[in-house]
Structure 1
Amino acid sequence: MSFTWTPHRFSGGALALDVANSVILRHDDERRTDRFEAPGQMESFPRAAVNFCAERALFGDILPVGQENRSDFIDLREAIDAYFRARILDRNVDGLLADLLEALSKVMRGAALSDGLDAATVHSTLRLIAMPDPDRMKICRNCGWLFIDRSKNKSRAWCDMAVCGNRAKANRYYRRKKEESPP
Structure 2
Amino acid sequence: MTFSWTPHRFAGGALALDVANSVVLRADPERRIDRFADPAVMDGFAAGTNRHGAERDLFGALEPVGPHARAGLIDLREAIDRHFRAETLGIATPPLLADLLDAISATLRRSGTRPQALDTATARSALLLVARPEPERLKICPNCHWLFLDRSRNRSRAWCDMAVCGNRAKASRHYQRTREEPRS
Q: Which runs of 5+ in 2 are unaligned?
A: none
Map residues 85-164 of structure 1 onto 2, 5 A cutoff.
85-112=85-112, 113-164=114-165
How far has the Cα of 1:114 moved from its partner?
1.5
How far has the Cα of 1:181 moved from its partner?
4.9
- TM-score, L = length of structure 2: 0.95
**Aligned-CA RMSD value:** 1.1
Partner secondary structure for residue 40 of structure 1: helix
| Alignment length (residue pairs) | 182
C-alpha separation in 2, matches of 1:50 and 1:60? 8
1:59 matched to 2:59: yes
Contact kept? 2:23, 2:34, Cα under 8 Å = yes
C-alpha separation in 2, matches of 1:32 and 1:40? 19
Match of 2:11 in 1: 11
Q: Which runs of 4+ in 1 moved over 3 A?
A: none
Contact kept? 1:26, 1:33, Cα under 8 Å = yes
Q: Which runs of 5+ in 1 are unaligned?
A: none
Deviates more, 1:104-113 or 1:81-90: 104-113
| One-letter amino acid of the structure 2 residue matched with residue 170 of structure 1 | A
How far has the Cα of 1:139 moved from its partner?
0.2
Identity across the alignment (%): 59
Partner secondary structure for residue 109 of structure 1: helix
Match of 2:33 in 1: 33
Match of 2:173 in 1: 172
How far has the Cα of 1:93 moved from its partner?
2.1
| One-letter amino acid of the structure 2 residue matched with residue 137 of structure 1 | L
C-alpha separation in 2, matches of 1:13 and 1:86? 18
Partner secondary structure for residue 159 of structure 1: coil
Deviates more, 1:33-42 or 1:73-82: 33-42
- TM-score, L = length of structure 1: 0.96
